[in-house]
Amino acid sequence: MKIRTRFAPSPTGFMHVGNLRTALYEYLTAKHEDGTFVLRIEDTDQERYVEGATDVIYNTLKIAGLTHDEGPDIGGDFGPYVQSERVNMYKPYAEQLVKEGKAYYCFCTKERLDELRASAKEGEVVGYDRHCRCLPQSEIDEKLACGTPYVIRQKAPLDGESTYHDCVYGDITIKNEELDDQVLIKADGFPTYNFANVIDDHTMGITHVVRGSEYLSSTPKYNALYDAFGWDIPTYIHLPLIMGKSVDENGETVVSKLSKRHGSTGFFDLVNEGYLPEAIMNYIALLGWCPAGEFENREIFTMDELIKAFDINGISKSPSVFDYDKLEWVNAEYIKAMSSEEFNNHAKPYYDELGIDSSCYELLEEILKPRITRFTQITEKLEFLKSLADYDIALFEHKKSKSTLETSKDALEAAIPLLSECEWNREAISEVLTGLASAKEVKNALIMWPVRIAAAGVAVTPGGCAEVLILLGKEEAIRRLNIGLEKVTKG
């Protein structure tokens, strides 16, 4: 049997990392067995239309590297793949169940159902009382003939138990009396969400249903439908929630469902913060799945390696915590592993904004690659190149290098003429500065510290003194050193 999985998002305009993990596990479940990954858009139950929402789905899958084999945009043998284009497919299935005595027309009015609900004691959930389940055929015919509005309900089994198996949660048993006579077709002729979902999964030949654990409790209802039709129940893989960690007002760590207060939860929000799509996918693959065998303890995976390593048995049922620090680490690993070309391509937009030209790319790659965990940090790290801040002269004072305003003045006075004559490369600049230190019989830091501060105007720079000077270019560097000298001279 060829495995067929589907990602069935509702177009909300937002791709939560939890949904993306579902999509990834669906993709991996299929691809690991050389199966088919289907995209189906579930837009029937939408409260309101969200502009551009389906584009968010397509763009996410594309950028995340989850290529679907069938879907609304590319077609396939089981289309249409958008639920709203399938609306006329569902009712005949419900009618079939009515004919077979497994479903019935229910003519109860809204008022009657409201009364029923109102009669419930506090805390009691009252389901439908099955009033129309056994209406005489003559009454049904009469009502239909006069056009009385109706819904179609399934006749749920009244006693016994139902058990189903979930690959992650094991066997789940419920008492059938807990099952309501669920509505399949609403008064407007449209299917309910659950009914459409089951009909779609069956008619699209879906073999493995991967989705969030919030669907565990409604799965018996889905199974009641598979049973009524005599269809095979798919393999279920329900995924635990993704949690986030925060600290409450008493300083206690609290773990709760991942939400905005823990950090960004949307795929594109994370991308905009500088996380690489490959790193995000790598990280979320490990959120609830543990590699085994030859991949045990491995943390960095390409998508192809994930396909090879993925195994449903490695999915854990305990909720995992989204760890932003870990994501940051994974991202940094991806950056470190990049070729120069890849690194420069990613960094270029930030370089361009700072007016850095390609002559500095090689040096910057060397300086930044081990230091950044996200490309977005480039702006902040190199901001000093764009303009010289009006910095405080206290920056020249540095205990560890024993630098004071006075030593800084001496160092700058001596260094400026030498650097003005110096060839502008790293070796030459370093030689001039270390040569100056030995001539003055002082430690290198006593020269390097004030020169770097005057050049950068900030205490922390990526790269040392010579690198900062090179990046500025000779003219700008000398200009800044003179400003520094003026500052320390005035005191």
- Write out the catalytic residue numbers: 260
Kindly give, in sequence order, each residue whose CB lies less than 8 Å from that of residue 357, ignoring residues fewer than 6 positions away. none
Q: How far is residue 36's CA from residue 24's CA, in Å, rounded to a whole number?
A: 13
Kindly give, in sequence order, each residue whose CB lies less than 8 Å from that of residue 475, ignoring residues fewer than 6 positions away. none
CB atoms within 10 A of CB 108: 18
Q: How far is residue 209's CA from residue 197's CA, in Å, rounded to a whole number?
A: 11
Kindly give, in sequence order, each residue whose CB lies less than 8 Å from that of residue 84, ignoring residues fewer than 6 positions away. 43, 44
Identified binder of ligand GLU from the candidate list 4, 5, 8, 279, rule CB under 6 A? 8
In the complex with ligand GLU, the residue whose CB is nearer, 42 or 278, is 42
Q: Which residues pair with 304 in a beta bridge?
A: none
Q: How far is residue 444's CA from residue 148's CA, in Å, rounded to a whole number?
A: 94
| Burial class of residue 268 (count of CB atoms within 10 Å of its CB; 0-12, 13-18, 19+) | middle
23 binds ligand GLU (CB under 6 A): no
- Shortest distance (Å) from residue 319 CB to ligand GLU: 17
Question: 282 to 321, contacts with ligand GLU by CB under 6 A?
Answer: none
Stretch that binds ligand GLU, among 5-13, 62-70, 92-100, 233-241 (CB under 6 A): 5-13
- Shortest distance (Å) from residue 95 CB to ligand GLU: 24
Q: Residue 430 has which token pair?
A: 């370093």
Q: How far is residue 424's CA from residue 455's CA, in Å, rounded to a whole number?
A: 14
In the complex with ligand GLU, the residue whose CB is nearer, 155 or 211, is 211
10 binds ligand GLU (CB under 6 A): yes
- Shortest distance (Å) from residue 55 CB to ligand GLU: 16
Binding mask 173-202 for ligand GLU (x = CB under 6 A): ------------------------x-----
Q: Which amino acid is at 329?
A: W
Q: How far is residue 190's CA from residue 45's CA, in Å, rounded to a whole number?
A: 10
Identified binder of ligand GLU from the candidate list 4, 5, 9, 331, rule CB under 6 A? 9
Q: Which amino acid is at 242?
A: I
Overall size of the chain counted in residues:
491
In the complex with ligand GLU, the residue whose CB is nearer, 135 or 167, is 167
DSSP 12: -
Q: How far is residue 180's CA from residue 271's CA, in Å, rounded to a whole number?
A: 43
Query: CA torsion, points 443, 444, 450, 456, in degrees to nearest 10?
Result: -160
Residue number with the smallest Cβ distance to ligand GLU? 211
Stretch that binds ligand GLU, among 7-15, 93-101, 122-130, 479-487 (CB under 6 A): 7-15
In the complex with ligand GLU, the residue whose CB is nearer, 215 or 268, is 215
Stretch that binds ligand GLU, among 3-11, 407-415, 438-446, 450-458 (CB under 6 A): 3-11
434 binds ligand GLU (CB under 6 A): no
In the complex with ligand GLU, the residue whose CB is nearer, 105 or 236, is 236
- Shortest distance (Å) from residue 9 CB to ligand GLU: 5
Q: How far is residue 208's CA from residue 235's CA, in Å, rounded to a whole number?
A: 5
Q: How far is residue 13's CA from residue 47's CA, in Å, rounded to a whole number?
A: 13
Question: 86 to 125, contacts with ligand GLU by CB under 6 A?
Answer: none
Kindly give, in sequence order, each residue whose CB lies less than 8 Å from that of residue 425, ignoring residues fewer than 6 positions away. 470
What does the longest C-alpha to C-alpha distance in the chain come to?
Answer: 113
In the complex with ligand GLU, the residue whose CB is nearer, 219 or 403, is 219
Identified binder of ligand GLU from the candidate list 11, 42, 103, 306, rule CB under 6 A? 42
Count of residues of this chain found to bind ligand GLU when the rule CB under 6 A is applied: 7
Q: How far is residue 40's CA from residue 295's CA, in Å, rounded to a whole number?
A: 32
Stretch that binds ligand GLU, among 4-12, 86-94, 275-283, 478-486 (CB under 6 A): 4-12
43 binds ligand GLU (CB under 6 A): no
- For residues 279 and 374, is the Cβ–Cβ distance under 8 A? no
Q: Is the peptide bond before 157 cis (omega within 30 degrees of 0)?
A: no
In the complex with ligand GLU, the residue whose CB is nearer, 172 or 414, is 172
Stretch that binds ligand GLU, among 8-16, 122-130, 268-276, 279-287 (CB under 6 A): 8-16
Identified binder of ligand GLU from the candidate list 4, 21, 31, 211, rule CB under 6 A? 211
In the complex with ligand GLU, the residue whose CB is nearer, 154 or 403, is 154
- Shortest distance (Å) from residue 45 CB to ligand GLU: 8
List contacts with ligand GLU (CB under 6 A).
8-10, 42, 197, 211, 215
